[in-house]
Amino acid sequence: GEPQPGRVEGPSMDDGSPQGYRDGDLVYVDPEQTINHNDDVVVKNADGETKLKRYIIQGNKAYLLALNKDWPERIVELTADCRIIGRGFFSGKMR
């Protein structure tokens, strides 16, 4: 499919660096790109919530990481009831 835009909601991916994502940033996601370790992905969880997180592989398990060091439950295991929508490949601010 075509790349899809979405908006970052909340501070979970704001680590204070220029590479972080701020609340309200626009993110484009490509559903056809291969997902690799350390990619930023959009995931839909079992509750239907859509989240932007960093995809981490450790051993034979995959995890989702919030970049904000103060975020509760900063690392969660990617479970079978989560679906990766696509890989983030561009972010910016609306002006």
The pLDDT value given to residue 87: 96
- One-letter identity of residue 36: N
* Residue 93: burial class (beta carbons within 10 Å; 0-12, 13-18, 19+): exposed
The pLDDT value given to residue 67: 97
* Range 50-73 average pLDDT: 96
- pTM (two decimals): 0.91
Q: Between 29 and 2, where is the model more confident? A: 29
- Average pLDDT of the chain to the nearest whole number: 93
Cβ distance 74 to 13 under 8 Å? no
pLDDT band at 66; cut points 50, 70, 90: very high
Question: Does pLDDT of 49 surpass 80?
Answer: yes
3-state secondary structure of 27: strand
Please tell me the chain's helix, strand, coil percentages from 3-state DSSP, rounded to the nearest 5: 0, 45, 55
The pLDDT value given to residue 44: 94
